[in-house]
Amino acid sequence: MDQDDPAAAVDHGNLAKLERVGAGSDIAGEIYGLVGKSQFFAEFSREDISILSGYMEVYRAQPGEILIREGDQGDFMVLIVEGEVDILKKSRRAEQQHMTSAGPGMTLGEMSMIDGEPRFATCMASQPTTFAALTRDNMAKIILDHPGLGSKILVKMVTMLSLRLRQTSARLLRVMDEARQQV
Amino acid sequence: MDQDDPAAAVDHGNLAKLERVGAGSDIAGEIYGLVGKSQFFAEFSREDISILSGYMEVYRAQPGEILIREGDQGDFMVLIVEGEVDILKKSRRAEQQHMTSAGPGMTLGEMSMIDGEPRFATCMASQPTTFAALTRDNMAKIILDHPGLGSKILVKMVTMLSLRLRQTSARLLRVMDEARQQV
């Protein structure tokens, strides 16, 4: 599915251009309410969420606004609290391809938050979306101030990245296997 | 490249079947010597390596012996100290395909060590190979006993998995793009 370049929709896909709603601690209850539907937070206690949300900021994005832009230097991850976000990636011919969509409880942008590499894909709100952002600096503070919680978050990231890498590798091998059979 | 089923070469691909050489602390110096050529340990200090190696065990595998077997429940990761290991994965037609090879300083099996999911691929020594193993239990002990070092190892894992996921995703998109153009 090709789309118009969403870069045209908003000047900058960074947090500063989006509406800041407040501190994460203001919506700790709502974040805790996501635990049931969130792969990421499945094993987090109410206290874990209460501490973590104190290190997060809450933003709102309108449909068409960009949370994360492919190629940007990113230093934060996103937890979707409400709404829906499209994940888009440019093809070699510079067309935007729709990869998948993400909803409440899902996390985006963990990779660049940790390793500082350019964003792999663009995340654009497809509905009015509320999300909590965790920056690399605040993640580092959590590791220092609350090492137990810091490790729990990192272990969860490793688990989720492992799952995605297994799925993506399996898909790649399948596609390559099919291509070989056609030759 | 198809190969005979390496499962036939050794009864069990687990550590218990391989020659145990000693404690990781015995070869802390050798492990520290790998820092220069290891993506994983690039930012680890001599003290980090000294602590970490105290939680590792050293094994030796002969050519054809299996360190990690695809589908096994795995609970350890491997740091190759000397030698070479082939990474093999079964195709849908149950043929062993050679995916890549790994040498000194490279780590294998981090995903299952953390998430406990079945091993994604088989790792078989292609040369006499010395490696250090870190089990999930000992990783948990490091996190409790040395939270700073624990976080450092976990951040490194997130970084490496992110890199592999970016590379694999980019390759998948390229292969799918090529397949589309041929239709």
In chain A the first and final C-alpha atoms are separated, in Å, by: 27
* Cross-chain Cβ contact B157/A159 below 8 Å: no
Q: In what order do the strands lie in the sheet with A85-90?
A: A2-3, A96-102, A85-90, A122-125, A66-68
Q: According to the model, what pLDDT value does residue A96 have?
A: 87
Give the mean model confidence (pLDDT) for residues B49-73. Answer: 94
Chain B residues touching residue A112 (CB < 8 angstroms) = 162
Least Cα distance to B168 among A122, A38, A174 occurs for A174
> Are A110 and A38 spatial neighbours (Cβ–Cβ below 8 Å)?
no
Q: A99 phi and psi, to 5 degrees?
A: -90, -45
Cα-Cα-Cα-Cα dihedral sign, residues A42, A44, A45, A46: negative
* Chain segment A20-60, per-residue pLDDT in tens: 988 988 888 888 888 777 778 888 998 999 999 999 999 99
Mean residue pLDDT of chain B comes to 86
* Cross-chain Cβ contact A166/B111 below 8 Å: yes
Give the mean model confidence (pLDDT) for residues B125-136. Answer: 95
B22 vs A62: which has the higher pLDDT = A62
Q: According to the model, what pLDDT value does residue A121 have?
A: 93
Query: How many other CB atoms sit within 10 Å of the CB of residue B5?
Result: 12
Q: According to the model, what pLDDT value does residue B26 have?
A: 86
* Cross-chain Cβ contact B158/A91 below 8 Å: no
Searching chain B, which residue's CA lies closest to the CA of residue A182?
Answer: B179
* Cross-chain Cβ contact B120/A151 below 8 Å: no
Q: According to the model, what pLDDT value does residue A3 have?
A: 44
Give the mean model confidence (pLDDT) for residues B108-133. Answer: 93
> Are B111 and B161 spatial neighbours (Cβ–Cβ below 8 Å)?
yes
Q: How confident is the model at residue B183 (pLDDT cuts 50, 70, 90)?
A: low
B53 half-sphere exposure, CB direction, 13 A CA radius: 26
B67 vs A5: which has the higher pLDDT = B67
Give the mean model confidence (pLDDT) for residues B13-41. Answer: 83
Q: According to the model, what pLDDT value does residue A80 have?
A: 95
> Are B86 and B123 spatial neighbours (Cβ–Cβ below 8 Å)?
yes
DSSP state of A183: -
Of the listed ranges A118-127, B35-44, B92-101, B131-140, the one predicted with least confidence: B35-44
Q: In angstroms, what separates the C-alpha of A111 from chain B's closest C-alpha?
A: 5
Q: Of A161, A172, A177, which has the smallest distance from its Cβ to B91's Cβ? A: A177
Please report the number of interchain residue pairs, chain A to chain B, with beta-carbon separation below 8 angstroms.
106
* Cross-chain Cβ contact B154/A154 below 8 Å: yes
Q: How confident is the model at residue B12 (pLDDT cuts 50, 70, 90)?
A: very low
- Looking at the predicted structure, is the pLDDT value of residue B2 above 80? no
- Looking at the predicted structure, is the pLDDT value of residue A9 above 60? no
Q: B73 phi and psi, to 5 degrees?
A: -75, 115
CATH number of the domain located at residue range(s) B2-182 in this protein: 2.60.120.10
| Percent of chain A at pLDDT exceeding 90 | 54
**Separation of alpha carbons A124 and A39, rounded Å:** 21
pTM: 0.83
**Chain B: residues touching A (Cβ < 8 Å):** 89, 91-92, 97, 110-112, 114-115, 117, 120, 143, 147-148, 150-151, 154-155, 157-159, 161-166, 168-169, 171-179
> Are B49 and B41 spatial neighbours (Cβ–Cβ below 8 Å)?
yes
A158 vs A39: which has the higher pLDDT = A158
Chain A residues touching residue B114 (CB < 8 angstroms) = 155, 158-159, 162
